[in-house]
Amino acid sequence: MQKEAEIRDPLILGNKTYHDITKDISRPLEGKANKYWWILFSLSFVLFIWGVCSMAYTIGTGIGSWGLNKTVNWAWDITNFVWWIGIGHAGTLISAVLLLFRQKWRMSINRSAEAMTIFGVAQAALFPLIHMGRPWLAYWVFPIPNQFGSLWVNFNSPLLWDVFAISTYFSVSVVFWYIGLIPDFAMIRDRMSVKTAPMKKQLYSFLSFGWSGKAKHWQRFEEVSLVLAGLATPLVFSVHSIVSMDFATAVIPGWHTTIFPPYFVLGALFSGFAMVETLLIIVRKVVSLESYITIKHIEYMNVIILLTGSLVGTAYITELFMSWYSGVEFEQYAFLNRATGPYWWAYAIMMTCNVLTPQLYWFGFIRRSFLWTFILSIFVNIGMWFERFVIIVTSLHRDFLPSSWTMFSPSFIDIGIYLGTIGFFFVLFLLYARTFPVIAQAELKSILKSSGSEYKKKK
């Protein structure tokens, strides 16, 4: 076992044994859902239904049901798409990059973060799909052979690169998530009784692929985890870089700037960690995981939020400065208009929630407070939505010809689809919390003796 310095804080609290971990993690799966779960689920389900109706209406009547116009021809659709893709990013960083960095604290949060990635990407994928107008022709986004009619895709378009990047990202994330789940499904399988829950036992034994916990199984498990981490790490960069190129390859002032790829990646990690915190602070209460998701975990995530938030802030200031420095009047106007034009309030929300409020994490007592963290994580979620809105709508609404200048206001359907995806996301996440082991217990057990609080005291 690896030596761990005494001064490191414990990552598992309470006098836990291996069996306690098993019991704690499988409890939500074996018991009945409590009141809070049902309240949250009902609320989310209502939003989800609203979303389904709005999407059905959009497909039935066309994109005209949205608030778009000839100048602002991209608005909430792509804003929501980028927002959801961004949220997914933290999952990949936690599962892949933090694995390569040997960060033990990732083990309590990676499962839920990866689930969040998958559910988030699923929401994001809905937007291009319904934006097509005729989603039954969605397969045209792939470069299918000419026998199917015609080759429709444009290889020069970043939108096509998105198709490849996001589908790769989605599949690697699912595989990564699933591999980690195998030993945990096996644990649940072994706890289920054939007499009381035969169906469940059969289901979990199917899902666990005959895992028996042999040394050979573990060796392969660790090997494949590392390989997948190596594959997923470039994906952390590529996906959001390509999303940023949807804008940056264009010659629209405010969109075309070279810092976009790394800045979008950092923004995505920033928003992703905020969403992980929002979810985990709820989950640890709802399914009693206080011993495993400790304030130290929250503090580490807050440090990452502080770092990425500050870098995103640096990028905002760099863009602002360079627009002046460039001497290009269109660039200068685009940024002046962002900060002081009719959408100044969106810019102000973005700056406050993404740059200013995360600076509060310099204070230890805020960084180590669940309540503060919960509030500030919501701030970041809001701020990052507005960041995309600012980039997209304010860059478009002042066209090159002043006669084309317009504003954007969302329709009832726009709002319904957006809130609907939030509902859908929570529906999926809440179902997941009742059917999956929400913490990677097999991995967590591997650090119990080095990072458990009781074991640390004994040394």
Other residues' Cβ atoms within 10 Å of the Cβ of residue 18: 12
Judged by beta carbon, residue 33 or residue 311, the one nearer another protein is 311
Residue 186 has, within 13 A of its CA and on its CB side, a CA count of 15
DSSP helix, strand, coil percent of the chain (3-state; round to 5): 75, 0, 25
Binding another protein by CB under 8 A: which of 112, 310, 337, 395? Answer: 310
Least distance in angstroms from the C-beta of 133 to another protein = 27
Calpha distance 255→253 (Å, rounded): 5
Judged by beta carbon, residue 185 or residue 300, the one nearer another protein is 300
**Binding string, residues 250-269; x marks residues near another protein by CB under 8 A:** xx----xxxxxxx-------
Judged by beta carbon, residue 80 or residue 310, the one nearer another protein is 310
| H helices present in 192-328, as ranges | 198-207, 215-248, 260-286, 295-326
Judged by beta carbon, residue 125 or residue 252, the one nearer another protein is 252
Residue 7 binds another protein (CB under 8 A): yes
Which DSSP symbol is given to 449?
H
Least distance in angstroms from the C-beta of 168 to another protein = 17
Q: How far is CA 363 from CA 20, 302, 375, in A?
A: 35, 11, 15
Segment contacting another protein by CB under 8 A, of 78-86, 195-203, 237-245, 388-396:
237-245
> Are 43 and 412 spatial neighbours (Cβ–Cβ below 8 Å)?
no
**Binding string, residues 90-119; x marks residues near another protein by CB under 8 A:** ----------x-x-----------------
Calpha distance 225→107 (Å, rounded): 13
Least distance in angstroms from the C-beta of 333 to another protein = 14
Q: Which residues of 256-268 are buried (b: 16+ CB within 10 A; e: fewer)?
A: ebebbbebbbbbb
Type of residue found at 412: F
Other residues' Cβ atoms within 10 Å of the Cβ of residue 311: 17
Judged by beta carbon, residue 259 or residue 339, the one nearer another protein is 259
Judged by beta carbon, residue 130 or residue 248, the one nearer another protein is 248
3-class state of residue 12 by DSSP? strand
Residue 328 binds another protein (CB under 8 A): yes
Binding another protein by CB under 8 A: which of 93, 245, 276, 334? Answer: 245
Residue 6 binds another protein (CB under 8 A): yes
Calpha distance 329→323 (Å, rounded): 8
Residue 333 binds another protein (CB under 8 A): no
Segment contacting another protein by CB under 8 A, of 18-26, 50-58, 272-280, 322-330:
322-330
Calpha distance 175→193 (Å, rounded): 28
Least distance in angstroms from the C-beta of 362 to another protein = 8
Query: Binding residues for another protein, per CB under 8 A?
Result: 2-8, 100, 102, 234, 237, 241, 245, 248-251, 256-262, 303, 310-311, 314-315, 318-319, 322, 325-328
